[in-house]
Structure 1
Amino acid sequence: MAFCKDFNARTQKYKPDTPMAVTITAYKDNTFDFIVKSPAATWYLKKAAGIEGGSSRPGHLEAATLSVKHIYEIAKIKQSDPFCQYMPLESICKSIIATANSMGIKVVNHLED
């Protein structure tokens, strides 16, 4: 019961349809520890681009286009992850841009109306 209460408290900021990774460590004395990570960068990229999946041929076919502002917003969210909290925001942005490129999502400075 304690796990459910703790889990609900830590995940209440997420919408119900948001996938997240959780690492649970259970100890012999019936105590536990768990880490809740934000969704994968690919999920955020697909959500921001409004697509179901990436390109079938990245580098040849574009699936969508996103602006650097979108990348920055995703990086700010990812920075709250336990494994990314000490990384510079610029490094997280570069990683997300690389992920976007591998999905066939083009990153531009400004989206044209």
Structure 2
Amino acid sequence: MSKKVVRVMKIQFKAGQAKPGPALAGAGIQMPKFCTAFNDQTKDRMGETVPVVLTVYEDKSFDFILKTAPASEMIKKACNLKKAASDSKQTVATLSADKLKEIAEYKMPDLNAIDIEGAMKIIAGTARNMGVKVEGLDA
């Protein structure tokens, strides 16, 4: 018999650094158990923000799915930026086509794209909104 789902949450933690706190307080799970499991699974991704889809069941057990790092974080890292532009018309950096493809390939499992070209267009759109010019693409 399948368990009854009580709640599905989308949250983010730094890899290997999840701690019991407000983000998990409303979930109704054993926070230390989740934190240990999350930290063990993400220790190889240190420094990265990891989105998580947390499914909580009626018996207070849980499952979680790790997603890829946010595209904006990856673009900032690739361009060596601390912060994106406050206005998308302002250009703060340039992203090479190679880096764009690398990010798109990494993000592909979490994107709603059929092929790598579609994924690259999605990532390029995120970059443009951040004020990052993408080399090799027509604006």
Indicate whether the TM-score tops 0.5. Answer: yes
Question: What TM-score do you get using the length of structure 2 for normalisation?
Answer: 0.66
Give 1:10's aligned amino acid. Q
Deviation digits for residues 3-57 of structure 1 (CA, Å, limit 9, x no counterpart): 4454234323312x21111121111234311111111100000111111112233
Picking from 85, 94, 103, the partner of 1:55 is 85
Alignment of 1:1-113 (within 5 A): 3-15=34-46, 17-59=47-89, 61-81=90-110, 84=111, 87-109=114-136
When Rg is computed on C-alpha atoms for both structures, the one with the higher figure is 2
Q: Count residues in correspondence.
A: 105
Which amino acid in the other structure matches residue 46 of structure 1? Answer: K
The TM-score, its normalising length taken from structure 1, stands at: 0.79
Q: Which runs of 4+ in 1 moved over 4 A?
A: none
RMSD over aligned Cα atoms: 2.1
Task: Give unpaired runs (5+ residues) of structure 1.
Answer: none
Higher relative contact order (CA 8 A, sep 6+): 1
